[in-house]
Amino acid sequence: MKTAIHIGSMRFYAYHGVLPQEQKAGNYFRVEVTLYTDFSRALTSDSLDDTVNYVDIYQVIADEMAHPSQLLEHVAGRIITALTHQFPSITGGKIIVTKEKPPITGDIRDVSVVVEW
């Protein structure tokens, strides 16, 4: 059995970007994660001790989003490192970090980076 925790559409106001105005004014970002972890015991135990608490996962992501980076790739890497360090039971996953309304000429709603590990 393969089990995962998925948290979608977390939205943050943060200061990630290469351009000085992005670092000063900020922007909205979304993060979505799927984290592979064995919570098969929780399927029958109904105990939080047998899984990874998604409230704690959210807090780790929020903490990392609060630290500015130039690149979305770097933000994703920092989040992966923090999550796998704090929750050793995570064996892999997928993260999508999205910048809403990037400063690009044209009608572009958002840009994202995707990392699977």
- Catalytic residue set: 99
For residue 36, which phi and psi values (nearest 5 degrees)? -80, 120
CA atoms within 13 A on the CB side of 81: 9
Summarize the chain as % helix, strand, coil (round to 5).
35, 35, 30
